Chain A
Amino acid sequence: SAVISQKPSRDICQRGTSLTIQCQVDSQVTMMFWYRQQPGQSLTLIATANQGSEATYESGFVIDKFPISRPNLTFSTLTVSNMSPEDSSIYLCSVGQGKNIQYFGAGTRLSVL
């Protein structure tokens, strides 16, 4: 399976600021995804990061709040914009490989004060 590196692993941010999370994969992958995991909860898909085109967002998530870049087949970024305490969560990137399988990075633990 692909090796997925996420940076930063954790951060503490002030409300109103923005944080960009990076996801680097050690091989080219077609499908990359961004998830949010709120404290003690399951995973919720934010968007599919499409290489060379705009990301596809799930209901309840918008580009202005969570802009995503996907400049090539091994890298993507997710920005959490104008943060509030409600944005405190774990943000995870994943890649699709093999038959219907997604592999996950270790996540970015974000706390907003």
Chain B
Amino acid sequence: GQQLNQSPQSMFIQEGEDVSMNCTSSSIFNTWLWYKQDPGEGPVLLIALYKAGELTSNGRLTAQFGITRKDSFLNISASIPSDVGIYFCAGYALGGSQGNLIFGKGTKLSVKP
């Protein structure tokens, strides 16, 4: 079935660093969603994107819907300790129903020792 390639799989941050992660698909998507999951919690929606080229911010987070409609990226600026967690991209392929939300494998953000 349809899969999303999310990278990097994990990364270590120091407070104040900028972070970037991305997601690619083999087919065209009409919606991209970015979620964050903290330990012991369910995924929480960060940003939703609906149009090619769309750039949307939520505080220090910025996400873009790729021009080809097959990719999206999420940037976090000036990271802080509470940014630690697992970030998932998710989306709907063109023609997909609302139940057919496809998830990436996640990017785990940790703090550098």
User: Interface residues, chain A, CB within 8 Å of chain B?
Assistant: 1, 4, 6, 31, 33, 41-45, 48, 56, 59, 92, 94, 96, 98-107, 109
CA distance A64 to B30 in the complex (A): 34
Considering the chains assembled together, what is the distance between the CA atoms of A56 and B100 in angstroms? 12
B73 at the interface (CB under 8 A from A): no
Interface residue stretch chosen among B13-21, B42-50, B54-62? B42-50
Residues 11 to 44 of chain B near chain A (Cβ within 8 Å): 30-31, 33, 35, 40-44
Nearest A-chain residue to B35, judged by Cβ: A104
Take A33-B99, A45-B99, A48-B99 as given contacts and tell me if A103 and B45 are in contact as well, using a CB distance cutoff of 8 Å.
Answer: yes
Chain B residues with Cβ below 8 Å from A109 are 40
Task: Determine the distance from Cα of A59 to Cα of B33 in the docked complex, in whole angstroms.
Answer: 23
Give the size of the chain B interface in residues (CB under 8 angstroms): 23
- Known contacts A106-B40, A106-B42; A42 and B105 CB within 8 A of each other: yes
B104/A42 in contact, CB under 8 A: yes
5 A–B pairs (Cβ distance < 8 Å), ordered by A: A33-B99, A43-B88, A99-B31, A100-B92, A109-B40
In chain B between 81 and 113, which residues have their CB closer than 8 angstroms to a CB of chain A?
88, 92, 98-101, 103-106
Query: Given contacts A42-B103, A43-B43, A107-B42, is CB(A101)–CB(B33) below 8 Å?
Result: yes
Cα A106 to Cα B44 in complex, Å, equals 9
Q: Could you list 13 further interchain pairs (A-B, Cβ under 8 angstroms) beyond the known A43-B103, A101-B33, A106-B41?
A: A6-B42, A33-B99, A33-B101, A41-B105, A42-B103, A48-B99, A56-B99, A99-B31, A100-B92, A101-B45, A104-B42, A105-B42, A107-B42
CB distance from B88 to the nearest CB of A (A): 7
